[in-house]
Each structure stands twice: as structure tokens, then as C-alpha cells.
Structure 1
Amino acid sequence: MSFTYGAYTACLQDRTLPEALEVLRGIGLTGAEVNTGGFIPSPHAPVDALLASERARSEFLQVFADAEMQLTGLTASGNPLSPLPTEGLGHAHDLRRTIELAGLLGVRDVVAMSGTPGTDPGARYPAWIVNPWNGIDLEILEYQWSVAVPFWKEIDALARTHGVKVALEMHPRNLVFSPPSFERFVELVEPTNIGVNLDPSHLFWQQMEPIDCIERLGSYITHVHAKDTSVLPGAATRGVLDTDFGPVPEDPAQRTPTGMGHYCSTWPEDPAWRFVAIGEGHDAEYWSRFLAALAAVDPQLNVNIEHEDAAFDRVEGIARGAKTLLAAAAQSGL
């Protein structure tokens, strides 16, 4: 067996599922990961119908078979621990339904985020504690873990029941955003069916080395998002945790969506970093070494491109990434 190379279809939400799969197959990919809830809607998977009807599930899977593509993951990335009524309960519900649906569809991988609670039981907003050298911050973290642990123990049991693996994105603004924070998660939750979705872009952003992270996390890596980051000259004076962003543009045409009803703030003119298409931040030789490190952990991983580079059209961005990724795969014999 070897890696399955595909893409996350959320950026192709303006196309039908057959059309999106045709795009991916046309650029040499063989797998697709679809969204089923969380921060963004579910344009390519009618979750209610799929949960309710075996016939609907059969027809859904036939779309992939007809396109000669594999369904390699369901994604419900959100904040299931958020105190916001528009996030926490709904995102947790989406995640539970996604796990159940993955089991019914025979899909191994469910992608999620660990989430971020508020600072205390009365908090209105989630709060990400980044550098808790202050004792008060450590107290906040202890409270947040007390919220996270029972929730994720429940989710782990649910995933075990349905025979799927939940893969957490180590994304900033979450309790789990680095190998050490995931190791704390493992110590406290003792999961059997929760691992890591290795997305190197989030690690590059934080100035980590993804290959070192792969070696440290080992078999906990159960899924991969292929995405690149470019750290820019602005980092010299802004740092990669820069907060100098402006409000969401008033003109809807100028807004960049980050989820259903959520939009990206306005970036600084000289940003410290940005997500880029694969190959725009690191060349094929780097990605060859990246894939080799993953193969040493598990040669049967699903590797899906996630396109978030606003400099390129959606199809062009995925195609550029696929060209680099498949060249790296050929170079490394994977």
C-alpha cells in the first residue's frame, strides 16, 4: 500500500460533488475529503439524508466510484468547546454526527479541532492561552483542560464504537496546537481512537519544523493535510503571533470567508506570514523529505491538499499544489 493523494473539497463549494471530483481527477489526484459541519457548511455531503438512508449512502459512494476517486475523510473542524451559543453545542453536535456517518460510510478518518473553552465557567468567548508564564494563565489552562478532558473522552469512546479515527488539527487558537500540547492531551484523555491531522502549514506558521514534529508524534499521526506557509519579511518586526489586523471589510465582495457567517480580518500590508499553495513556500525537494518522514510512520496515510492561498484561483491553487506534491511523491518513490 502507499499514500492516497487527494484534496479537501471545501474550496470547491461552488461546484457539485461530481464536478469537484472531476476537477481533482483531472489534476492527477485520486482522493477527496469532504466537509460535514463545524465552521463551514457541508456543500458536498447531505448529512441528514446520509444518516437516515442506506440508499442515500450507497448513491453517495457511487458518485466516488463513478469518478474513480476514493472518499478519504470527513471534516467537522470547529470549536466544540466554545462557550458561544453559535459555536460550541452546534459544532459538538456536528462532530458526533460526522463520526456516526463515517462509520456508516466505511470512512476511516474524521478531521476535527480540539477546541478552546472560555477562561472560566462564566466566560462568553473562547480564550487561547499561548504563553502562560503568568500564574493566572496557568489557572485558566487548568480550567480549560477540565472542560476538554471529559468531552474528548466521550468522543474517543464514540469513535471507537463506530470504528473510526478522529484526527485533531494542531491549529493555533486551540488547546492542542503543537506536539507538546497534543502529548498533554494524550496524558489526560488516554485516547485509543484520536490522533493528529498533520498539517505542516500550521507548524511552519509557528516556526516549527514539520519533519521533526512527524518524528516526535510518530504513530499518533492518522491523517495529513498538505498545505504550505510562507514566513514573510514582516516577521522580523511583527513576529508570527502579530495582532495588528484590521476589521472585516464592509464590502461583502472584499471579504474572505473563514466559515459560515465568519470572515477573515483585514491583513496588515506587510504581514508576517500567510498560507500559500504547496510549492510557494517550500520546494518539491522539501516535500519529498516530508513524505518520506510520513512514510516511516505510516505508509498508508491519506494526504489531502487544503487550498487557502488567496493569490490563486481555487482550481489553479489546487493544481499548483498537486503538481508539486506529486513531483515530490515521484522523487521519494511514494
Structure 2
Amino acid sequence: MKLGVFTVLFSDKSFDDMLDYVSSKGLEAVELGTGGYPGDAHCKVDELLNDEQKLSEFKQKVESRGLMISALSCHGNPLHPQKKIAEPADEILEKTIILAEKLGVPVVNTFSGCPGDHEGALYPNWPVTPWPHDFQEVLKWQWEEKLIPYWKEKNDFAEKHGVKIGLELHGGFSVHTPATMLKLREACGPAIGANLDPSHMWWQGIDPVESIKILGRENAIHHFHAKDTIIDQANMNRNGLTDMTDYSQMRDRAWYFRSVGFGHDTKTWADIVSTLRLMNYDYVVSIEHEDGLMSVDEGFTKAVENLKPVMVKESMGDMWWA
């Protein structure tokens, strides 16, 4: 397994400076944003697709630091009911898949998106309760008319280009749990899998270790994010899991993101990494920093320091004792 980082936290650095900094921390991989919510500070898709020389230089810069690109990420909502939002998200997803093929990057990360509740809707509708039955009707329409047709097409497009799509399980989007992930994968194809982030499991009340087992048995983990979450039980009692308090109001939130090791202890993270290996995931653990209590440098550095001791670098060969 390799330790990497989702480089959007270094968007203020040039591409070269970012690579130098990441390499200096002893990391082995970078995950690059190509547009959408993550932005494209370090990876300009159109420039690279239209200039073979720039593409070659881009690859060389990464490889010369002993790094690899674990994934290209363009998180957005390609199923947003407003075309002015959905169409750019769809366009950057397809371009990113094509670029991934050219770069030899096996995974493109994004969100599943969330449609509205009918053709004339203006905003996404995220049903989270089965009753009243209106919500079930909305959910059925979304999956049958929007999600499955769209992602079936994207599964086939990704397979054509030899790329996998990692959907981040995230509240507010249609795919947000292991069950919804596997439902979409079964309907659309094996190129669709998870970019699994344990931080989003914790706040939904899902044990990340068990989510790894559920998805891992189906070979449905394409990429993995390393981010922690803390639950403030007093605020949880008041606001519940689907807390709408602004992220900046941390004292009043039911939960908020932390750097690795500041929400859960080393044993928990050792269990997460070990279970990934148990389920035959032998790829990159990509650090994501969204900790409102620490600077980028401190939060990232502490995440690296906490993850390095629990990473499984060498897989076991024959069991000589058995």
C-alpha cells in the first residue's frame, strides 16, 4: 500500500512546489483535482489533452519525484436538475476519464450526484426517510429515470478507456452508503465503485471497518481517502446526524472533520488499514485535510505522522507457519 495526498489543500502552491513538498514528507502518491468542487490548480485538463509535450512534461515532473498519480478527481453533481450546473460537471468527468487514460491513471473520483424530484425541478432532492411515501416515489423516480441511465452510460465510457470511477460516499448525494453504492454498481457495471472516505461513514453512524468489508467482498473499493471525524454527542443529541449547522460553527455542530488521529485513535486506524488489506485493497490511502482546528501544514503533517506507523507496506507471501 502507498500513502498519498489529495493535493487540493496545496492549491496555493505551484505544481512543482507542491510536488517537492509532498515528496519531502515521504509520500508516494498524489491525487489531483481536475475541476468541479476540488478545482484544477495542479491539473489543467484542456491544456494537457491538447498538447502532447505538456502532457509528457507533466508526467515527468511527477515521476521524477518518485511519485505516482493515484487518481484524478472532479467531484461535482452531473445530475443536478439545472443544466448550467449538470452539464459542466458531466463534461469535466468525461474529459478527466480521457486524461486519466492518457496518463495511465486507473481511477477518476467524483460524486454520484443527486437529481431533483421531477423534470422541472430547480434543486436536488435528497430523500432520507421512507415515510411519508412521497419520498419513496421521489427516490424511485431518481434511480430509474436519472441515476441508473446516467451511470450505466458512464460505466461503459470508463470501461472503454480502461478507467474505473470512484464515487465518494457522501451525504447529500444519492450514493452515500455501502448499500446505495452496491445498488448502483449492480445496475450499472463494475467500473463503478467507491472512493471510500471513513469520515463520511462515522457521521452517518456506519462503522468504517464494516463498510470496508461490505464493499471489499464485492471488489468495489477503487480508491480510499484518509480523513477523520469527531462526534460531539451533546450537539448530536440536539441536531441529529443530518445537522445543517454551517461547517464554520464548529462549537455548535453535531460532528466535524478532523485530521487523522484526532477523531479516532491509532488502533482504529490500524484496523482500517488492516481491513483494507484483508479485503485485497493494495493501492493508495490518500490523505484529505478538512480540519477547521489546524493549519494545512500542521494538519497534513500530523496525518502523515499518524498514518505512517500503521500502513501495511509489504503483503505476506506464503504462510510459512501454516
TM-score, structure 1 length as denominator?
A: 0.89
Give the Cα separation in 2 of the matches to 1:57 and 1:113. Answer: 26
Query: Which of 66, 79, 82 pairs up with 2:80?
Result: 82
Q: 1:332 to 1:162 in 2, by over 3 A?
A: closer
* Total equivalences in the alignment: 312
Q: Which residue of 1 aligns with 2:231?
A: 231
Give the Cα separation in 1 of the matches to 2:255 and 2:163. Answer: 34
Q: Which residue of 1 aligns with 2:107?
A: 109
Q: Which residue of 2 aligns with 1:27?
A: 25
1:311 aligns with 2:293: yes
Are the counterparts in 1 of residues 273 and 312 from structure 2 also a CA contact under 8 Å? no
Task: Give SS of 1:56's match.
Answer: helix
Task: Give SS of 2:299's match.
Answer: helix
Shift of residue 330 of structure 1?
6.0
Give the Cα separation in 2 of the matches to 1:279 and 1:320. Answer: 8
Q: 1:105 to 1:333 in 2, by over 3 A?
A: closer
Q: Which residue of 2 aligns with 1:169?
A: 168
Q: 1:119 to 1:289 in 2, by over 3 A?
A: same
Are the counterparts in 2 of residues 81 and 117 from structure 1 also a CA contact under 8 Å? yes
Are the counterparts in 2 of residues 81 and 148 from structure 1 also a CA contact under 8 Å? yes
Give the Cα separation in 2 of the matches to 1:18 and 1:327. Answer: 28
Give the Cα separation in 1 of the matches to 2:226 and 2:21. Answer: 17
Q: Which residue of 2 aligns with 1:5?
A: 3
The C-alpha deviation readout for 1:276-315, integer Å capped at 9, x for no partner, is: 0000001121111101100112242211001110211112
Task: Give SS of 1:304's match.
Answer: strand
Q: 1:196 to 1:159 in 2, by over 3 A?
A: same
Task: Give SS of 2:137's match.
Answer: helix
Unaligned runs of 5+ in 1: 246-263
1:296 aligns with 2:278: yes
Q: Which residue of 1 aligns with 2:198?
A: 200
Letter in 2 for 1:13: S
Shift of residue 179 of structure 1?
1.0
Give the Cα separation in 2 of the matches to 1:278 and 1:319. Answer: 10
Letter in 1 for 2:80: S
Shift of residue 268 of structure 1?
5.9
Give the Cα separation in 1 of the matches to 2:79 and 2:192. Answer: 16
Q: Which residue of 2 aligns with 1:159?
A: 158
Letter in 2 for 1:100: I
Q: Which residue of 2 aligns with 1:217?
A: 215
Are the counterparts in 2 of residues 35 and 76 from structure 1 also a CA contact under 8 Å? yes
Q: 1:268 to 1:300 in 2, by over 3 A?
A: closer
Give the Cα separation in 1 of the matches to 2:313 and 2:63. Answer: 29
Task: Give SS of 1:269's match.
Answer: helix
Shift of residue 127 of structure 1?
1.2
1:98 aligns with 2:93: no
Q: Which residue of 2 aligns with 1:255?
A: none
Shift of residue 116 of structure 1?
0.2
Letter in 2 for 1:170: L
Give the Cα separation in 2 of the matches to 1:300 and 1:45. Answer: 25
Are the counterparts in 2 of residues 291 and 332 from structure 1 also a CA contact under 8 Å? no
Q: Which residue of 1 aligns with 2:63?
A: 65
Q: Which residue of 2 aligns with 1:259?
A: none
Give the Cα separation in 1 of the matches to 2:172 and 2:198. Answer: 16
Percent of residue pairs bearing the same amino acid type: 35
Are the counterparts in 2 of residues 200 and 227 from structure 1 also a CA contact under 8 Å? yes
Q: Which residue of 1 aligns with 2:319?
A: none
Give the Cα separation in 2 of the matches to 1:273 and 1:282. Answer: 13
Give the Cα separation in 1 of the matches to 2:256 and 2:315. Answer: 30
Query: Which of 136, 139, 150 pairs up with 2:137?
Result: 139
Letter in 2 for 1:20: M
Task: Give SS of 2:230's match.
Answer: strand
Shift of residue 186 of structure 1?
2.4
Task: Give SS of 2:213's match.
Answer: helix
Q: 1:205 to 1:332 in 2, by over 3 A?
A: farther
